[in-house]
């Protein structure tokens, strides 16, 4: 775990505490940087401690506040320990970003008919069960304090059903989006908003060239694009936005 450093105080999230899962690299790191730039104190979670530490140190080097927490968000005890460490080092958790969702081996395209049953749990635990565990861990304190933001990173694969070959990944993401919509109705009266950010093709994706040409923006998404969307949903200006899925996809609707 890294030490914290004083961060910016002139932004909309000044003093808020955010826990970002899977934030050691790529999209998660972009989200952590965006929240820190907006003034939040960020707990950077990753399965691999060295990756979490690297992101936390980058935030600190830029004048932000961050700690690194290694934890497997598919494990209830480790989730609880990560939340306890965040509270102990930074304070009560105001913002939870469920970003962890891609195994270290990536998400290869594979037809459902060819996918062994024993592989199903790997995707569903990370993309759905982990979201439930993390939400459960932070909800009661958020409701008691009358403020909270829960933001889950989902995928256009789960919303649109493309590309083929991502059935289990899409199932987990779609399940997380459905859970979020219902949860938003349950906790809105306590000042807690629950939203999703649904990602289109990202810059590290392997996609057909014609997909890129069909996108109005003619480029893949970046971690900074996602971070900006998450920072908005976490901000005071989004207090009347809940139960929504914001598509951050460069205008990409279908293959």
Enzyme catalytic residues = 169
Three-class SS of residue 35? helix
Distance CA 91, CA 68 (A): 14
CA distance 221 to 60: 25
Residue 206: Cβ within 10 Å count: 8
- Integer Cα distance of 6 and 185 in angstroms: 36
Which tokens go with 60? 């600190």
Q: What is the spatial distance between Cα 127 and Cα 121, in angstroms, rounded to a whole number?
A: 10
Q: Distance (Å, rounded) from C-alpha 104 to C-alpha 10?
A: 36
């Amino acid at each position: 775990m890294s030490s914290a450093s004083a961060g910016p105080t002139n932004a909309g999230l000044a003093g808020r505490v955010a826990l970002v899962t899977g934030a050691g690299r790529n999209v998660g790191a972009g989200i952590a940087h965006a929240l820190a730039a907006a003034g939040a104190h960020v707990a950077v979670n990753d399965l691999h401690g060295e990756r979490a530490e690297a992101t936390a140190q980058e935030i600190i080097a830029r004048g932000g506040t961050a700690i690194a927490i290694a934890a497997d968000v598919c494990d209830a005890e480790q989730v609880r320990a990560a939340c306890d460490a965040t509270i102990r080092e930074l304070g009560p958790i105001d913002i939870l970003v469920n970003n962890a969702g891609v195994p270290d081996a990536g998400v290869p395209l594979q037809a459902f008919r060819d996918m062994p049953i024993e592989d199903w749990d790997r995707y569903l635990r990370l993309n759905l069960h982990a979201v439930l565990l993390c939400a459960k861990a932070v909800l009661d304190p958020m409701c008691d304090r009358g403020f909270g933001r829960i933001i889950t990173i989902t995928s256009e694969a789960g919303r649109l059903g493309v590309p083929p070959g991502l059935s289990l990944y899409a199932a987990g993401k779609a399940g997380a989006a459905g859970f979020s919509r219902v949860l938003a109705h349950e906790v809105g009266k306590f000042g807690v908003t629950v939203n999703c950010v649904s990602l289109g093709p990202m810059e590290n994706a392997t996609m057909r060239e014609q997909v890129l040409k069909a996108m109005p923006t003619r480029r893949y998404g970046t971690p900074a694009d996602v971070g900006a969307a998450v920072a908005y949903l976490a901000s005071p200006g989004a207090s009347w936005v809940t139960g929504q899925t914001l598509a951050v996809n460069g205008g990409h609707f279908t293959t």
